[in-house]
Amino acid sequence: MDSTQRLHQILQQYLPPNSIDYCLELWKRNPFNFSVTRSRKSKFGDFRWRKDRPLQTITINGDLNAFQFLITFIHEVAHLHAFIRHGLNIPPHGNEWKRTFQELMSPLLRKEVFPKDILIPLSRHMRNPKASSVGDLFLTKELNKYNSATETKTGIFLADIQPEKVFELNGRKFRKKETRRTRVLCEEISTGKRYLISQMAQVRLEIGMAGE
């Protein structure tokens, strides 16, 4: 089995069916090492450029649903293409990357690839893509509908609970305070310390423990 067949076999396991051939063509255009990894809390995927290597490396978390996997795949491939076109001195998520990401994603923005509930916020997101789709509340909510029922990330978004409600995150209890752009000021119940937590964090609401 050659490298093209191996990659096709991997992509079949993780991508929406109507996106596989296109993603394989992107790899043929500019080949790279590719692997699927265990879940990483800090990121969905990763692109690594090594000057001493003829092929660069892209990795993607294996626990993503097919649509999030596809978006992440194109996101990382866009890094590779942007560096090849514009050199290594461009910002990682600057205008060069944004334009490349938009260009590579454009052929996939159709109902044969994405369901309508994802396609609408995704098309809007791609007008000015951010460094991470997690920062887009509406897109993330729609993508999360397609997560496995057995996925460990359960709960509700911090953005969806009312101020002064108490919630649990990673075994610690907090009270929600005010929202500041993409993050929420929260007070830890046991210490009184305040932290800024992403409004996209999935938390467990403590029933009956509203503000006193």
What class is the 156-205 domain?
Answer: mainly beta
Alpha helical stretches, state H, the chain = 3-14, 20-29, 66-86, 95-105, 116-125, 137-144
Predicted local confidence at residue 41, as pLDDT: 77
Query: In Å, how far are 5, 48, 171 from 199, measured between CA atoms?
Result: 41, 28, 17
Helices 20-29/3-14 angle, 10° precision: 140
Return phi, psi of residue 127, to 5°.
Answer: -65, -30
Q: 10-residue block means of pLDDT along the chain (212 residues)?
A: 90 96 97 93 89 92 96 97 94 95 98 97 95 83 81 69 90 92 90 89 70 41
Predicted local confidence at residue 44, as pLDDT: 92
Nearest CA to 73 among 94, 46, 92?
A: 46
Cα–Cα distance measured from residue 20 to residue 14, given in angstroms and rounded to the nearest whole number: 9
List the chain domain ranges.
3-144, 156-205
Q: Which amino acid is at 138?
A: F
Predicted local confidence at residue 128, as pLDDT: 94
Q: Are 205 and 165 in contact (CB under 8 A)?
A: yes
Residue appearing with tokens 């334009």:
99
pTM above 0.85, yes or no: no
Nearest CA to 68 among 43, 97, 91, 99?
A: 43
